[in-house]
Chains A and B, each alone.
Chain A
Amino acid sequence: MKGLATRELSMAIALLAIWGFFAWAEPVFLSARNLSLLSVELAITAVLALGMLVVLLPGQIDLSAGSGVGLAGAVAAVLVFWHDVPAPLALLVATAGAVLVWSAMGALIAVERIPAFIMTLGGLLVFRGLHWLVISNQTVPVVEGGSQNVYSLLTTYFLPPLAGYLLAGLAVAMLAATTLRARARRKAYGFAVDDGEQAFLKLFVLAQLVFLVVIVTNGYRGVPVALVILAAVAVLVHQLVTNTPFGRYLYAIGGNEEAATVSGVPVRAAIIGAYALMGGIVALTGFMQTAYSGASTSTVGSLMELDAVAACVIGGTSLRGGRGTVLGVLFGALIMASLLNGMTLMAVSPEAKYIARGAVLALAVWLDLRLGQAR
């Protein structure tokens, strides 16, 4: 418990330090416009990281996620721009394809026992090749110039200000209701709970944050729909991993696969399920990232798998499986997205950006091992 508190605290300090540094070095960092862009970037990074969490929990990994992002976005873009397929149908087709392909990878990993690291490393290369093949090494826009469709709106639609406030109010109300209910139940079960004052304080700070986000983004063009998508995915994944048998199985497999098997946990089905879900999330991230770039190019999605893994690990997910939470991953994604956004703003060279990303990834894993040992 103490280790957890230290970790939460050090994450908060790291985030504040990052934000403080960028605000000092480049005051534009805190402008409504930039924070609004940052929230879209956060949404993209975080959605993929939440998928990665589902794969990491049972002790697996997906290195092909970044290539998959590029490929899924490319398939949808090509269908829309070159073949005049309606955007909703194109997204649906690309999503279905991704779910199928990732399920197949999951089956090869779970049933044929190909190590996930190798299987998805192979996937990384195969999908990258397919991505370039699909777009014939050209730039394929997600929509005709000057118009818009469901695809392009993923990152360019912003809620009207009033809708933003209404949504925020609804979110806070739901948050309060579920927190209080969960607290009452935990008390009834005889589990440890924070004292009332602390619980209220936490809720209060969280509610303020939600409204702050709405106020800031309304200062630019409104709450980005990408952020709403992130919220929906976060709630879904949280419910899935904490409150369903499937989620329990993921934690059990990551904690002790042999014991899970003996306990009658459907290990293979659970791992395949985790990858199937990852396929859907990879496709969704692919659409968002490609829409954010405006077009599918050969670099879309490149190395995003590593940002997702870093976000998970920074957020306290164990690479050995069995440990990790949605809230932690969101926090980790915020740190990664802030770093990337700030560096772009400061016009840091791509060389230095690669070095910084790599250093953060190694640092996060090292921290995970140190804190893991401490417990």
Chain B
Amino acid sequence: MTDAVLEARDIVKRFGAVTALGGVSFDLRAGEVHALCGENGAGKSTLIKLLAGVHPHGSYDGEIRIDGRPAAFRSTRDAERAGIAIIHQELALFPEMSVGENLFLGALPQRFGRIDWDQVYSRAAATLAECGMALDPATRVGDLGVGQQQLVEIARAVAREPRVLVLDEPTAALAGHEVGILLQLVRRMRERGVACAFISHKLDEVFAVADRITVLRDGVAQGTLAASATDAGEVIRRMVGRRIEDYYPRRQAAPGRTLLAVHGLELTPPHGSSRHLRGITLEVRAGEVLGLGGLMGAGRSELLMHLYGLWGERRAGSVEIDGEPYDALDPREAQRRGLALVTEDRKRLGLVLQQGVAFNISLSALPSLRRGVFVDRDAEVLRARAMVDDLRIKAQDLEQPVGTLSGGNQQKVVLGKALLTAPRVLLLDEPTRGIDVGARLEVYELINRLTATGQAIVLASSELGELLGMSDRIVMLCEGRIGGVFARDEADQQTLLAAAMGRLERAA
């Protein structure tokens, strides 16, 4: 292990009471590609952020070594200086600037205090050529497609001539031929002696470039394998592991009539021409929880947002609520028809943070809380209080600004707002993201209570355990299509993951 360029030893990282990494070791050698695999929430991103200096030295236990010497990154700048370049999932480019400017921003070549544009563009052209991209360096980045932008991002990292290159889900936004360019680029970096860490959900890509594979699960490393000596099945088995079934207290209710039915739905993004979702057919019955799974970008959120009237244009197919056709025009219509949505991003899309608990809970239900032209304060307080008690929201009083509540309580406020509209079909998008175990269990109990009273629930989640534990039936999406439909007892994590990756036959 002495030849490791970068080595992380026994890393423990906690966020409050949650342990994100429980003693992980990971090393990178010069001239190799080391892949990091794991489910969402397994701790991959946390590990990367440690290496990038986002979580500074001292906020974790364990040791990071560069060339065998201990490194203490206090900031991302320290990590950059040590020769570590990270390509994040989110783009960090300036769309109004040219490709060349973006490549060298912060270190633009200068002559007599003025930017030397000839140098900028000639060096940019050289870098782009090296990366196998035929692009004019004077092109405005905003005019490029998302995939090409991602490649520019990678070229920017290459331009800094790093010793360690970390790619975090670099192919998520890329089209097929672009993936090829990217993988070729990774191989070229390896030949030049760069140590590459490669994180991807897509196992075929992992096996196409990786020399070694480390699997993470629940913040613990599940072994490091030589890529030539293992296969996708083994990696998936290690990613999934076993879980405690009691963690998910689903009590099945007798399903009633079909409340939500979707037939052959085909959706395009607003103003977009490419089809994002197609051939979506599913139904949810009263008293039933339908799990909706899939990898990042598979279209889970988009489908829910469309049903709620917030996203996309319908190109084909139909939706029926309780047998009546439904057009999903806007959230108000959705509410009138008995739909409610709890969004994935509660701070951005769920709450008015500076306003109080009652204000937020009653916001969607105000049309039904009126006396004449005024808000019926008595009724409002009564129902908000009942909801607070029912969901066990911990707040000083109904006027406490929700921005000062804990994540779990904020999530319950969003749930309360949805429930106050008395929905027949409840759409939940990652309802347990970022909340602690206790609040999670309360959300699960709530799901049980709601289905017992005949509500239908669509539960979108990136956690396979949650899907398996809480759904009666599961639909897995794969790149905008249905990758598989399972009854609860005929599915396990491996088959779900395989369906999400579009490789159901091979893994099964």
Of A37-45, A215-223, A244-252, A351-359, the stretch lying at the interface with chain B is A244-252
Asked whether B334 lies within 8 Å of A264 as measured between CB atoms, the reply is yes
Contacting residues, chain B, for A255 (C-beta < 8 A): 352-355
Q: Which residues in chain A, 190-228, are within 8 Å of chain B measured between CB atoms?
A: 190-192
CB contacts (< 8 Å) of A234 on chain B: these are none
**Any chain A CB within 8 A of the CB of B331?**
yes
Chain B CB within 8 A of A262 CB: yes
1/0 per position for B135-161, CB-CB distance to A under 8 A? 000000000000000000000000000
Return the chain B residue nearest A261 by Cβ.
B331
Q: Within the complex, what minimum Cβ distance (angstroms) separates A249 from chain B?
A: 8
Task: Decide if A259 touches B399 in the complex (CB within 8 Å).
Answer: no
**How far does the Cβ of B122 sit from chain A's closest Cβ, in whole Å?**
40
Q: Which residues of A contact B421 (CB under 8 A)?
A: 264
Residues in B with CB closer than 8 Å to A192 are 397, 399
CB-based contact B398/A191 at 8 Å: yes
Bound Cα distance A185, B310 (Å): 38
Question: Which residue of A has the minimal Cβ distance to B331?
Answer: A264
Chain A residues closer than 8 Å to B381, beta-carbon distance: 189
B343 within 8 A of A: yes
On whether A243 and B377 interact (CB within 8 A), knowing A262-B343, A263-B363, the answer reads: yes
**Bound Cα distance A248, B358 (Å):** 11
Known pairs A256-B351, A256-B353, A259-B352; A265 contacts B375 (CB<8 A): no
Contact between chains at B335 and A264 (CB < 8 Å): yes
Chain B residue at minimum C-beta to C-beta distance from A253: B352
Which residues of chain A come closer than 8 Å to B362, judged between CB atoms? 248
* B301 at interface, CB cutoff 8 A: no
Q: How far, in Å, is A311 (CB) from chain B's closest CB?
A: 22
Q: Is B349 in contact with chain A by the CB < 8 A criterion?
A: yes
Q: How far is the CA of A265 from the CA of B367 in the complex (A)?
A: 10
Residue of B nearest to A190 (CB): B397
Is B353 touching A262 in the complex (CB atoms < 8 A)?
Answer: no
A185 lies within 8 A of B348 (CB): no
Asked if A110 is at the interface (CB within 8 A of a chain B CB), the reply is no
Q: How many residues of B contact A (CB 8 A)?
A: 36
- B355 in contact with A245 (CB, 8 Å): no
Q: How far is the CA of A164 from the CA of B308 in the complex (A)?
A: 56
Interface pair B331/A262, CB less than 8 Å apart: yes
| A260 & B399 in contact (Cβ 8 Å cutoff) | no
Q: Give 1 or 0 for each of A103-145: 1 = CB within 8 Å of chain B CB.
A: 0000000000000000000000000000000000000000000
Q: Kindly name the residue among A192, A244, A251, A263 whose own CB sees the greatest number of chain B CB atoms within 10 A.
A: A263
Give Cα A258 to B347, complex, Å. 10
Choose one: B364, B374, B378, B397; the contact of A191 (CB below 8 Å): B397
Q: How large is the interface on A (under 10, 10 to 19, 20 to 34, 35 or more residues)?
A: 20 to 34
In the docked arrangement, what's the CA distance between A243 and B310, Å? 28
CA distance A260 to B332 in the complex (A): 11
State which of A190, A252, A259, A266 has its C-beta within 8 Å of the C-beta of B348.
A259
A245, A252, A266: the one contacting B352 at CB < 8 Å is A252
Residues B375-410 near A (CB distance < 8 A): 375, 377-378, 381, 385, 397-399
Bound complex: CA A251 to CA B355 (Å): 8
**CA distance in complex: A264, B399 (Å):** 21
| A315 at interface by CB-CB < 8 Å | no
Q: Is B366 an interface residue (CB 8 A)?
A: yes
Cross-interface CB contact of B417 among A243, A263, A322, cutoff 8 Å: A263
Interface string of B332-370 (1 = CB under 8 A from A): 101100000101000011111111000100111011011
Any B CB within 8 A of the CB of A7: no
> Is there contact, CB below 8 Å, between B350 and A262?
yes
Q: Does A323 contact B (CB under 8 A)?
A: yes
Interface SS of A by simple majority: helix
Q: What separation, in Å, do the CA atoms of A192 and B363 have in the docked complex?
A: 22
Shortest distance from the beta carbon of B383 to any chain A beta carbon, whole Å? 12
B411, chain A: closest CB distance, angstroms: 14
Question: In the bound complex, do residue B352 and residue A256 qualify as a contact, i.e. CB atoms below 8 Å apart?
Answer: yes
How far apart are the CA atoms of A256 and B352 in the complex, in Å?
A: 5
A35 → chain B closest CB, angstroms:
36
Q: Which residues of A contact B377 (CB under 8 A)?
A: 185, 189, 243
Closest A residue to B378 by beta carbon equals A185
With both chains docked as a complex, state the minimum distance between the C-beta of B371 and any C-beta of chain A, in angstroms. Answer: 10
Closest to B340 in A: A264
Give complex CA distance A318, B410 in Å.
Answer: 24
Chain B minimum-CB-distance residue to A251? B355
Q: Is B244 an interface residue (CB 8 A)?
A: no
CB-CB under 8 A from A262, the residues of chain B are: 308, 310, 331, 341, 343, 349-350
- Per the 8 Å Cβ criterion, residues 154-202 of A in contact with B are 185, 189-192
Known contacts: A251-B355, A255-B354. The answer to whether A260 contacts B398 by CB under 8 A is no
Q: Is B508 located at the chain interface by the 8 A CB criterion?
A: no
**Are A248 and B366 CB-contacts (below 8 A) given A256-B353, A259-B349?**
yes
Residue from the set B348, B355, B363 with the largest chain A CB neighbour count within 10 Å: B363
Q: Quick check: A244 and B374 within 8 Å, CB to CB?
A: yes
- Asked if residues A245 and B354 are in contact (CB atoms below 8 Å), the reply is no
Q: Are A323 and B354 in contact (CB under 8 A)?
A: yes
In the assembled complex, the CB of B106 is this many whole angstroms from the nearest CB of chain A, namely: 29
Using a CB-CB cutoff of 8 Å, which residues 238-252 of chain B contact chain A? none
Knowing A191-B398, A243-B377, the reply to whether A264 touches B332 (Cβ < 8 A) is: yes
Of the candidates B343, B353, B366, which one forms a contact with A245 in the assembled complex, judged by CB atoms under 8 Å apart?
B366
CA A244 – CA B380 in complex, angstroms? 12
Docked complex Cα distance between A108 and B349 (Å): 24
CA distance A256 to B399 in the complex (A): 17
Contacts of A239 in B (CB 8 A): 374
Nearest chain-A residue to B376 (Cβ)?
A: A243
A107 to B: closest C-beta gap in Å: 17
A263: B residues at CB distance < 8 A: 331, 363-364, 417
Q: Is B373 an interface residue (CB 8 A)?
A: yes
A239–B334 alpha-carbon span in the complex (Å): 30
Q: Which residues of B contact A266 (CB under 8 A)?
A: 332
Given that A262-B343, A264-B335, A322-B352 are contacting pairs, would A244 and B310 also be in contact in the complex, using a CB cutoff of 8 Å? Answer: no
A244 touches B364 (CB 8 A): no
Give the contacting residue for A265; candidates B349, B363, B385; CB below 8 A.
B363
Q: Please give, as numbers and ranges, the residues of chain A lying within 8 Å of B343 by CB-CB distance.
A: 262
Min C-beta distance of B136 to chain A, whole Å:
32
| CB-based contact B373/A248 at 8 Å | no
Q: Within 8 Å CB of B369, what residues of A?
A: 245
What string of 1s and 0s marks CB contacts (under 8 Å) between B428-467 and chain A?
0000000000000000000000000000000000000000
Separation in Å of the B15 CB from the closest CB of chain A?
25
Give the docked Cα–Cα distance between A245 and B363 (Å). 9
CB-CB < 8 A to B353: which residues of A? Answer: 255-256
Please give the distance in Å from A77's CB to the nearest CB on chain B: 34
Q: Produce 1/0 per residue, B405-428, CB < 8 A to A.
A: 000000000000100010000000
Contact among A185, A259, A264 for B351, CB-based, below 8 A:
A259
Contact, CB under 8 Å: B364 / A264:
yes
CA gap between A252 and B363 in the complex, in Å: 8
Least CB distance, B109 to chain A, in whole angstroms: 38
Tell me, in angstroms, the Cα distance from A58 to B56 when the chains sit together. Answer: 39
In order of increasing CB-CB distance, the 3 nearest A-B pairs are A255-B352, A245-B366, A264-B331
Since A248-B366, A251-B352, A262-B310 are in contact, a sample of 5 more A-B pairs with Cβ atoms closer than 8 Å, ordered by chain A residue number, is A244-B373, A252-B363, A255-B354, A322-B355, A323-B354
Residues of B that sit less than 8 Å from A by CB: 308, 310, 331-332, 334-335, 341, 343, 348-355, 359, 362-364, 366-367, 369-370, 373-375, 377-378, 381, 385, 397-399, 417, 421
Query: Can you list 14 A-B pairs, Cβ within 8 angstroms, ordered by A?
Result: A189-B385, A189-B398, A190-B398, A192-B399, A244-B373, A245-B375, A248-B362, A252-B359, A256-B348, A256-B353, A260-B352, A261-B331, A264-B334, A322-B354
